[in-house]
């Protein structure tokens, strides 16, 4: 078959980067204070760094893992982060994503997502897997590089398309190029004049201005300080240059699936992708690898709340992890021994034993009082809330007795309370106020028990009634 496989074009490349820029301006989220794993060069965790506090063992383990991933030493492994709620499992995964850098793909999903997409569970997982594998593609591009000697534009034609000529030179040669309307527009837009050193990409016709030729440095006294001077290029005007770009397998899939086209990448509405398309792409990528044109970069797939997957998904994972093209899969769960979804069997973390056996397990432990204090202080900064030390202590006590999450949630609420009484700093009274206003889980449960008769669907009540009927 003579299908040519497209990878991302320049257009896709730039637009996707733009999208990444957009998400970076995200509002303050639960983990927006996390900027990395906070490790030093020897991969030892600093007490507090990059927004990370404590949980040293798990952070170090994550760091070692990350190093192996960066060196391309592991793929197709799976890691489980296990620990109580609010012990930083998701936070550490986000830290890893930050530390992974731009080139290696990191995909993050909640296990329950696969049940809500308009595609089969296994298709959703396959897409997530392929989103997490990068392909670094080397491409040769042809370009013209030279110093502009002269640009002449025919003024005579009046209406209609403009034409013109441009003379370009290197230290060794000089050539005259005919200019069409498009090129003239591009040159005008970039304000190219004689004496500029420029580069023209032959495929995309994109013009880039490298700077002014040194030979012209004296002509321009008024040029100002921002002028960059470069040497007149040497050798031939036409050059080949190697460019490298990274796309994910999933992006290649989508671009080449005939029903979708690359526009689907932006709508996110990719639908199911035919297995034949994937087979073709795998074959092509394997060919490129052999020819030295492409390199596979296994990234990371993070599946949060992994106990929400069901038995079919788990068995899919068993198999998919052994595939040649597999990313590193990191899962997180806060469950103990619980039922495996889709079966009547129980298992630790709700994960079948045969999958558990393939996992390396990192465990997270509860935080000390000091650590909670530090995390709360970092969150105050992140949310731009000024808080007195006393208030922070009070909040820490609340955090220790209820949960870290609950305490974090009180920060913004208490800031509003402080603003209401025209104070610039949150004080203990504000904390007290919101603590009374918003219940934590324990108080809510006890309150509910007290007033259980007034709630709907009350099991307690039902069982009473059942007893009555039975009796």
Ligand X SMILES: Nc1ncnc2c1ncn2[C@@H]1O[C@H](COP(=O)(O)OP(=O)(O)OP(=O)(O)O)[C@@H](O)[C@H]1O
Residues that bind ligand X (CB under 6 A): 30-31, 34, 51-55, 83, 85-91, 334, 375, 404-405, 408
Q: Shortest CA distance to 128 belongs to which of 315, 301, 273?
A: 301
User: Of ligand X, Mg ion, none, which one does residue 54 interact with (CB within 5 to 8 Å by kind)?
Assistant: ligand X
Nearer of residues 8 and 108 to Mg ion, judged by Cβ: 108
User: Of ligand X, Mg ion, none, which one does residue 255 interact with (CB within 5 to 8 Å by kind)?
Assistant: none
Q: How far is the CB of 364 from Mg ion (least distance, A)?
A: 10
Nearer of residues 83 and 298 to ligand X, judged by Cβ: 83
Per-residue burial over 125-156, b if 16 or more Cβ lie within 10 Å, else e, is bbbbbbbbbbbebeeeeebbbbbbeebeeeee
User: Of ligand X, Mg ion, none, which one does residue 86 interact with (CB within 5 to 8 Å by kind)?
Assistant: ligand X
User: Of ligand X, Mg ion, none, which one does residue 303 interact with (CB within 5 to 8 Å by kind)?
Assistant: none
Nearer of residues 83 and 134 to ligand X, judged by Cβ: 83
Positive or negative CA dihedral for 449, 451, 455, 459? positive
First to last CA, the chain: 76
User: Of Mg ion, ligand X, none, which one does residue 195 interact with (CB within 5 to 8 Å by kind)?
Assistant: none
Residue 404 φ/ψ, nearest 5 degrees: -60, -45
Q: What is the largest CA-CA distance in the chain?
A: 107
Q: How far is the CB of 30 from Mg ion (least distance, A)?
A: 9
Nearer of residues 8 and 90 to Mg ion, judged by Cβ: 90
Nearer of residues 90 and 260 to Mg ion, judged by Cβ: 90
Per-residue burial over 261-287, b if 16 or more Cβ lie within 10 Å, else e, is ebebbeeeebebbeeebbebbbebbee
Q: How far is the CB of 90 from ligand X (least distance, A)?
A: 3
User: Of Mg ion, ligand X, none, which one does residue 87 interact with (CB within 5 to 8 Å by kind)?
Assistant: ligand X
For 35, how many CA atoms within 13 A lie in the half-sphere containing its CB? 8
Does residue number 90 form part of the binding site for Mg ion (CB under 5 A)?
Answer: yes
Nearer of residues 37 and 325 to ligand X, judged by Cβ: 37
Nearer of residues 90 and 257 to Mg ion, judged by Cβ: 90
248, 133 contact by CB (below 8 A): yes
Q: What is the DSSP annotation of 180-201?
A: -HHHHHHHHHTT--TTEEEEEE
Q: Tell me the residue number closest to ligand X, measured at CB.
A: 88
Q: Tell me the residue number closest to Mg ion, measured at CB.
A: 90
362, 90 contact by CB (below 8 A): no
Q: Shortest CA distance to 409 belongs to which of 379, 432, 384?
A: 379
Only segment of 87-95, 118-126, 315-323, 383-391 that touches Mg ion (CB under 5 A): 87-95
Q: Which CB contacts under 8 angstroms, 24+ apart, belong to 122-126?
A: 122/312, 122/313, 122/316, 123/272, 123/273, 125/313, 125/316, 125/317, 125/320, 126/278, 126/320
Q: How far is the CB of 111 from Mg ion (least distance, A)?
A: 11
Only segment of 39-47, 82-90, 254-262, 313-321 that touches Mg ion (CB under 5 A): 82-90
Q: How far is the CB of 435 from ligand X (least distance, A)?
A: 18
Does residue number 403 form part of the binding site for Mg ion (CB under 5 A)?
Answer: no
- Using the structure block, give the residue that is written with the tokens 């108080």: 443
Q: How far is the CB of 53 from ligand X (least distance, A)?
A: 4
Distance of alpha carbon 49 from alpha carbon 377, whole angstroms: 13
Q: How far is the CB of 110 from ligand X (least distance, A)?
A: 9
The contact pattern for Mg ion, residues 199-238, with x = CB under 5 A and - = no contact, is ----------------------------------------
Binding residues vs Mg ion (CB under 5 A): 90
């Amino acid at each position: 078959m003579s299908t040519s496989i497209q990878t991302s074009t320049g257009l896709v490349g730039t637009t996707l980067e733009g999208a990444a820029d957009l998400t970076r301006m995200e509002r303050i989220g639960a983990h927006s204070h996390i900027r990395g794993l906070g490790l030093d060069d020897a991969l030892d965790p600093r007490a507090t760094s990059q927004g990370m506090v404590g949980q040293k063992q798990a952070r170090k383990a994550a760091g070692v893992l990350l190093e192996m991933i960066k060196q391309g030493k592991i793929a197709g492994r799976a890691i489980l982060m296990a620990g109580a709620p609010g012990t930083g499992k998701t936070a550490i995964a986000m830290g890893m994503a930050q530390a992974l850098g731009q080139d290696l793909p990191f995909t993050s999903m909640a296990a329950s997502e696969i049940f809500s997409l308009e595609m089969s569970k296994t298709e959703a997982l396959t897409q997530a897997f392929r989103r997490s594998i990068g392909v670094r593609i080397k491409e040769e591009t042809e370009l013209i590089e030279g110093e502009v000697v002269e640009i002449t534009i025919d003024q005579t034609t009046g209406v209609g398309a403009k034409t013109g000529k441009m003379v370009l030179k290197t230290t060794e040669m000089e050539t005259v190029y005919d200019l069409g309307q498009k090129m003239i527009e591009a040159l005008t837009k970039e304000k190219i004049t004689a004496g500029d050193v420029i580069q023209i990409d032959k495929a995309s016709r994109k013009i880039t201005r490298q700077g002014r030729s040194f030979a012209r440095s004296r002509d321009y006294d008024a040029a100002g300080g921002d002028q960059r001077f470069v040497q007149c290029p040497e050798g031939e005007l036409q050059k080949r240059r190697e460019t490298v770009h990274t796309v994910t397998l999933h992006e290649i899939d989508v671009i080449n699936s005939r029903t979708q086209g690359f526009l689907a990448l932006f709508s996110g509405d990719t639908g199911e992708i035919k297995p034949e398309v994937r087979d073709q792409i795998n074959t092509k990528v394997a060919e490129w690898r052999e020819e030295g044109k492409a390199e596979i970069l296994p990234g990371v797939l993070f599946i949060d709340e992994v106990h929400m997957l069901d038995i079919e998904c788990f068995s899919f994972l068993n198999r998919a992890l052994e595939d040649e093209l597999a990313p590193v899969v990191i899962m997180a769960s806060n469950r103990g021994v619980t039922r495996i979804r889709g079966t009547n069997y129980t298992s630790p973390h709700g994960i079948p034993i045969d999958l558990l056996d393939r996992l390396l397990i990192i465990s997270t432990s509860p935080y000390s009082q000091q650590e909670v204090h530090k995390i709360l202080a970092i969150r105050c900064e992140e949310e731009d809330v000024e808080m007195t030390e006393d208030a922070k202590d009070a909040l820490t006590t609340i955090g220790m007795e209820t949960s870290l999450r609950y305490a974090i949630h009180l920060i913004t609420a208490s800031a509003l309370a402080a603003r209401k009484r025209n104070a610039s700093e949150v004080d203990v009274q504000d904390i007290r106020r919101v603590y009374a206003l918003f219940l934590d889980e324990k108080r809510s449960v006890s309150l509910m028990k007290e007033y259980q008769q007034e709630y709907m669907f009350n099991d307690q009540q039902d069982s009473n009634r059942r007893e009555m009927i039975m009796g």
